[in-house]
Structure 1
């Protein structure tokens, strides 16, 4: 093992610790105020609904060159990727609309 392998494994561990802390710490903090869990749950349900709609809209077409080695894409995996991409697009436009509305309301005040 050289320094590159050690650095990669260390970065994997640090990313995992960061993910765990990013999920667990807000949950611990929200135990003080249970009403905040409702907002979090509403946001998660909203994301799931947006993904479900995007997954339903996306097509599962796979070109023959991607169905073979080394990709081995199936119709289901193609729909998942399409749904994820459409979800990102929808969330991007929601964020962009939020920025525009915020700037307009700040300009009007």
Structure 2
């Protein structure tokens, strides 16, 4: 094991610790204010509903060459990836619309 492997494992460890802290710290801070937990829960539910709509409208079609080695893509996997992509597209569009509305609102005020 050379130093590159050691630094990679240290980086992986820091990513895991950062992810755990990114999830736990807001929860610990919001225990004093339960309304902020409700807002977070509403956001998670909205994204979940958006993903459900995107997943149900995604196609599970896979070309024959991708069903074989080395890809081994299943129709369920293709549908999941399609659902995630449609969700990302919808959130991106929603962010752009929000930015435009905010800038128009600043111009008016």
Instruction: Give TM-score scaled by structure 2 length.
Output: 0.99
For residue 19 of structure 2, what is the aligned residue in structure 1? Answer: 19
For residue 30 of structure 1, what is the aligned residue in structure 2? Answer: 30
Tell me, in whole angstroms, the C-alpha distance in 2 between the residues paired with 1:101 and 1:3.
Answer: 50
- How far apart are 1:7 and its partner, in Å? 1.1
Deviations 1:56-106 (A, max 9, x none): 000000011110011100000000000000000000000000000000000
Runs of 4+ more than 4 Å apart: none
For residue 96 of structure 1, what is the aligned residue in structure 2? Answer: 96
Aligned length: 109
- How far apart are 1:3 and its partner, in Å? 1.2
- How far apart are 1:4 and its partner, in Å? 1.1
For residue 48 of structure 2, what is the aligned residue in structure 1? Answer: 48
Q: Show structure 1 runs of 5+ residues with no match.
A: none
Instruction: Give TM-score scaled by structure 1 length.
Output: 0.99
Tell me, in whole angstroms, the C-alpha distance in 1 between the residues paired with 2:30 and 2:79.
Answer: 35
For residue 63 of structure 2, what is the aligned residue in structure 1? Answer: 63
Tell me, in whole angstroms, the C-alpha distance in 1 between the residues paired with 2:19 and 2:65.
Answer: 36
Counting only pairs closer than 5 Å after superposition, residues 68-83 of structure 1 correspond to structure 2 as 68-83=68-83
Tell me, in whole angstroms, the C-alpha distance in 1 between the residues paired with 2:4 and 2:97.
Answer: 43
Tell me, in whole angstroms, the C-alpha distance in 2 between the residues paired with 1:30 and 1:6.
Answer: 36
